[in-house]
Amino acid sequence: MKYAVLATVLLLAAPAPAQEAARYSDDAARQAVSDAAVVEATVMVPMRDGVRLATDVYRPKDARGPLPTVLWKTPYNELGDNARTKRRALEAVRRGYAYVVQNERGRFHSEGEFEILGKPQTDGFDALSWITKQPWSNGKVGTLGCSSSAEWQLALAAQNHPAHAAMVPMAAGAGIGKVGRYQEQGNWYTGGVPRSLFFVWLHGVENPIRPQLPADIDAATRARVAGYDDLSPKKPAVDWPRQIRRLPVDTILSDLGEPPATFERFIARSPSDPAWRQGGLYHDDMGWGVPALWFNSWYDVSIGPNLELFNHVRQSRTDREASDNQYVVVAPNNHCQFAALKPGLKSGDRDLGDPSFDMDGAVWGWFDRWLKGDRRAFPASTPKVRYYTMGANRWNAAAQWPPARAQTVRMYLRSGGGANSLHGDGRLSASAPPAGEAPDRYVYDPANPVQTIGGGDCCNGGLVTAGAFDQRVIEARSDVLVYTSEPLTEPLEVSGFVEAVLKVSSDARDTDFAVKLVDVAPDGTAYILSDTIQRARYRDGYDRPTFLRTGEVATVRPTPMATSNRFGRGHRIRVEVTSSNFPKFARNLNTGGNNERESRYVVARNAVHHDAANASYVELPVVR
């Protein structure tokens, strides 16, 4: 999906022989590929509607007999002379694989009109069919990639193409429409609140007016042109911190002179719009037919939906072999930054120790198991779930997610009515509140939203840097409610989905409620672990908006957070509640109108209740 992180994802940290390819300079990698592989550049592969997709094929020169194939499909400029692609291709051909890289339609030398995820249910299927018809193919294909190069794989897996033997989706959240408790429509929403990352991403990726070569140009000339001209217009730089504040939200790109395109179509949709079913998103009623090795990250944009999908696929049973062969690895890095998994990893302000993991060995062992039939390469005894526990700074293994030993522990939001800021009296307690406990009240002004600092995010033009950043500058605000436990006398591991239930009221017809889970160190540093948000109008379902009424207490259940963290001895558990998290999430203007088409806003006076009749709490999956 995201162009800003490509440089960090394309080299996977691993021991030899993968590290050997990674050590090559750009020129050396190109030469090594030339020595080791037969390269067919800019092959125009036809889709069923006649549109042709630009494709590079790498095959080992010393191959004997048909080859298994690894397919990397991308909207990015990774064909031609791309040195990172050369390194990946070198790893593949040295291991006895054909390696195919294909641009999505409407991108660079591929024909047609761009569509997010590149029509995975047709273009993806047709690409697999084309590969299996080649004389060098053994009929088995594995799909590989991170972000956009992973997300198109999800809807393809529902097609259960006979050649699709295995897949490795990394950070694939924007390929998920609705799964279980999450209805994010490809990360466009969280809890019904639009995320800003796609506003920026679409501006960088989509070019409705783009140059194209004549359709009848001969193959040799096309390949030659592709070697020095990627057909990609360069756009002027944008001051995103200024632009992201523009109202109405639906004019953020048109104000830059962009012609109407995907952004305008998507921003006009509600979270339950049937149009979300017409694209390339995966929905949980589509079935699943492919064994998968998932790679996800705690500080990614969509760790919750990714883990929910992993669980769903294991339980779907539309293809028993596929359901029985789902494995996931969850690391502490940011989106697609798996190359950072090495000693001394620091996320934001937090030292995360040594999260080294032989990713390349796992990936190629997985493909050897399913594409070459070598069961020893990826043993059945491999844990279904491998996850890194922050705070403890160690890898753990489990047969399921959350781990079977996780027990739900409820912690209540409590105060004397003054939980405003970290200097208030808010506390997180195992004891339920009594009758009559005063609510906490604050003012949410859309003109002065609470700033996003860290957490899970990506690909937003530098608006937000993901990671475990200290939240105290935010917690100093009076419009942030802060609830903190007593210092722990023993370490406490929280691994699983973290759910919040808030009893709220407002004098506005609609507003948002944002929640954070924070690990507070003995010195006061407040490391964000995860966050979530919920638009109040969607509290009873995305298909039936229900507005707030002054004086009434409503129940809001934000989509679950997900993490694995050990709160050390002397640490405290903290929960923040407020009504904005900007610029990660678009601001609610509080009018109850069409929020993304409005410029007018009203100030909301919001409250979180916590008495015997209206308890607010979080539920933590505690691993004993």
The three state secondary structure string of 94-118 is: HCCCEEEEEECCCCCCCCCCCCCCC
Q: How far is CA 268 from CA 67, 302, 329, in A?
A: 46, 22, 36
Residue 12 burial (10 A CB sphere; 0-12, 13-18, 19+): buried
335 is known as an active-site residue: yes
Please give the backbone phi and psi of residue 543, each rounded to the nearest 5 degrees, phi first: -95, 0
The single residue of 56, 123, 126, 300 carrying the catalytic annotation is 300
The single residue of 110, 137, 147, 616 carrying the catalytic annotation is 147
Contact criterion met (CB below 8 Å) for 506 and 605: yes
CB count in 10 Å sphere of residue 35: 9
571 is known as an active-site residue: no
Residue with tokens 């700074």: 393
In whole angstroms, what is the distance from residue 10 CA to residue 19 CA?
12
- DSSP string computed for 454-511: SBS---STTS---B--B-HHHHTSTTSEEEEPPPPSS-EEEEEEEEEEEEEEESSS--
Helix extents (H) in 299-430:
303-316, 320-324, 359-371
Residue 358 burial (10 A CB sphere; 0-12, 13-18, 19+): middle
Contact criterion met (CB below 8 Å) for 36 and 11: no
Contact criterion met (CB below 8 Å) for 389 and 563: no
In whole angstroms, what is the distance from residue 509 CA to residue 546 CA?
9
The single residue of 335, 571, 609, 610 carrying the catalytic annotation is 335
Contact criterion met (CB below 8 Å) for 164 and 154: no
Contact criterion met (CB below 8 Å) for 200 and 240: yes
CB count in 10 Å sphere of residue 66: 15
302 is known as an active-site residue: no
Closest CA relative to residue 359, chosen from 592, 144, 164, 122: 144
Active-site amino acid positions: 147, 300, 335
